[in-house]
Each structure stands twice: as structure tokens, then as C-alpha cells.
Amino acid sequence: MNVRDTLKLEQVPVSDREAEEAAFAKWNTLAKPIGSLGRIETMIARMAGIQGTADVQAKPRRLIVACADNGVVKQGVAATPPDITAVMAEQIAGGKSAVALMAKWNDCDMKVYDIGMFRRGHCSALIDCHLMDGTNDFSVEPAMPETVAIEAIRLGIEAVKTAARDGIKLLATGEMGIGNTTTTAAVAAALLNVDASVMTGRGAGLTNEAYERKIGVVQKAIEDHQLSASDPLKILSSVGGLDIAMLAGVFIGAALYRIPVIIDGVISSVSALLAERLVPGVRYAYLASHMSSEPAASLILNALEMTPFIDAGMRLGEGTGAVALMPLIDMAIDLYQHLITFDDIGMVP
């Protein structure tokens, strides 16, 4: 099944080279050594290319959080009971979680989606896009039908369409789902054709015994489902999660609507990689926030040819790493817009 054709997607835009070059040219007029702000300058120029204008904007902005459960937790691969997903989704949507407080501090609104939790949430701010009561146990059967995977991707694209209609200039991605480091390890290992032991981390703190079991479950599932990197949709539907599927749609949508989108941690990054494999070219819209402590993170970002700005050993999820990048973006834009120029001080660069 071809995702682009099935969803009737328009041609993916490319980075606006003129806008990007204009942004670099503006940086070079500012009163500082040429290129001395390094990747901060590159980030703003990249945003110009994504937005299609050298007048780079980062507000208003929105964090999209996809919440879902994973049937594979039945195999003892998670240290936390699965009912925590709905509890935390309610806390995020209700403005009480870590990322909710960080988003408020950064003047970032949030949209939190139930894309497939075991239990429905009871917070009115939680958006109901429920497709399944959690995925199937992928160690026994495919995680979800391909039609459901496609629908989750479509809902992610629709979330971005809504954001574009609301005038959003910057997106961030987050997720909540017990067991989703297991689905991430499986999807990443299959997409990059590496052994499960390389991609699988301890998640929220597994014992040695549970960690070894987790690696075995992931590797056996890849073999049992006969997964190939050439069929990313089958990988998603066989061993993925509904949160990964929806976020892949968010990354695709961001590219279609020319909105810069910040990759969060390892679950978000594998969604970004999956999106690029499903619809080649969408990664032009990506910004990488931080280096997750999960072992798959660096391999996934290397595959996307991206270097994150933050390396703080973070592994909370929810979108915390993505939101943590926003103050740096704001500072960079303020410099870009207001720093004195060489002309102001009568100098030639």
C-alpha cells in the first residue's frame, strides 16, 4: 500500500533556497564575525527555508502529543503498568505534567490526542481520536491492520492542517504510551536493518532480566513478521504503535504545510524517520531538539543526517526535549531580528 497515493497527498515541497540564502545573507550583515553563531545561524536559515520566507517566526506555536497503548506490554517489556498511560495523558491535557508546565513557560499551546489508549481518558481537554483499545501484542500478531495505521497517519496530517489554519508557525512533537520504547526499538531496528540488541534500551528502568526479555521479544518479532526496510508501512503495522503512526503523520503534515517541526526524543525521532521512509522528502521540515539517552536515538538521527542542539541525558518524553529547544529558538530569532548591523557601526564586514 502506497501511503502517498492512499492519502492522496500533494507533492511534498522542498526547502525554499532563496529564503534560506536570504537568511544567511542577513546574518552576515549583523555586527559579529561572519558565521560566529554557528549552528544557531544555520537553524534560523533552515527555518526560513521551511517557512519560505526570511521573516522567520516561531509564534504562535503548538505541541502535539499522541497518547496510545501497546499490546506488547503483556510480554513484561515495561517497568510501568499500562494504566499509567491514561493517567498521564489526563495530566498532560490538564496542564499538570512536566511538559505542560514547560509549554506554558514557553508560551506554547498543546493539543493532546487519545489515538488508542487501553482506557479512555476523562479530561475534557483530551482530544478523542481513539482507533483501537491499544495495539495488538506484536509478539503474537501484527500490532494493527494497515488500514488503521493509515488512518492514524491521516489524523496526524489533519492535526497539522488544523494548526496551519490556526496560524501556527512552529510545531513540536510528543507522546505518551507505556511500552513505546519497545515499539520504537522494533521499528528502528527494522528500518535500519540492525540487530535488536543495538536498538533496544531499558526504557523506564527495566531489570536486567526484563531487559534481555525485551531484546528477545523485539528481535523475534522482526523475524516472525519477516520485516524489510523496503516496506515501512508493513513495519509500522506489524510492530509499531499508534502514537508512532500519528506522529509520522504530523511530520508529513508539517512538510506539506511548510511548518518547522521539532523532533523530541527517541519515539518522536523514529516517527520522523518512518515519515521520511513513507514519504521521501519530508525531512526538510525537521528540527532536532535533543539527544535521548535511549541507544537508538543517535543511530536514528544519523540516518536523518541531523544533529540535535541539546545533550542533557533526557528521557522523559511527552515532548519535553522539543519544548526545551524553544528558548534557544526565541533567542536566536531575537538576535536575527534586532542585533545591530555593520552599517549601524560604520564597519565593512
d(CA 218, CA 190): 10
Q: Which amino acid is at 173?
A: T
Cell triple for residue 202?
531499558
Assess contact for 113 and 155: CB atoms under 8 A: yes
Of 237, 269, 243, give the one whose Cα is nearest residue 88: 243
Assess contact for 174 and 317: CB atoms under 8 A: yes
Cell triple for residue 215?
531484546
Start-to-end Cα distance in the chain:
54
Of 281, 189, 283, 202, give the one whose Cα is nearest residue 235: 189
d(CA 348, CA 164): 41
Looking at residue 332, the DSSP 8-state letter turns out to be H
> Which segments of the chain are extended strands (E)?
61-68, 109-116, 126-128, 170-176, 261-263, 286-288
Query: Choosing from 41, 276, 294, 318, which is the catalytic residue?
Result: 318
The single residue listed with the C-alpha cell 487501553 is: 118
- Cis, peptide link before residue 60, omega less than 30° from 0: yes
Side by side, the strands of the sheet bearing 286-288 are: 126-128, 109-116, 61-68, 170-176, 261-263, 286-288
Of 20, 70, 18, give the one whose Cα is nearest residue 176: 70
For residue 248, give the 3-state DSSP assignment: helix
212 labelled catalytic: no
Helices (H) and strands (E) in the chain, counts: 15, 6
Of 58, 49, 45, give the one whose Cα is nearest residue 284: 49
Cell triple for residue 295?
541507544
For residue 143, give the 3-state DSSP assignment: coil
- Active site residue ranges: 318
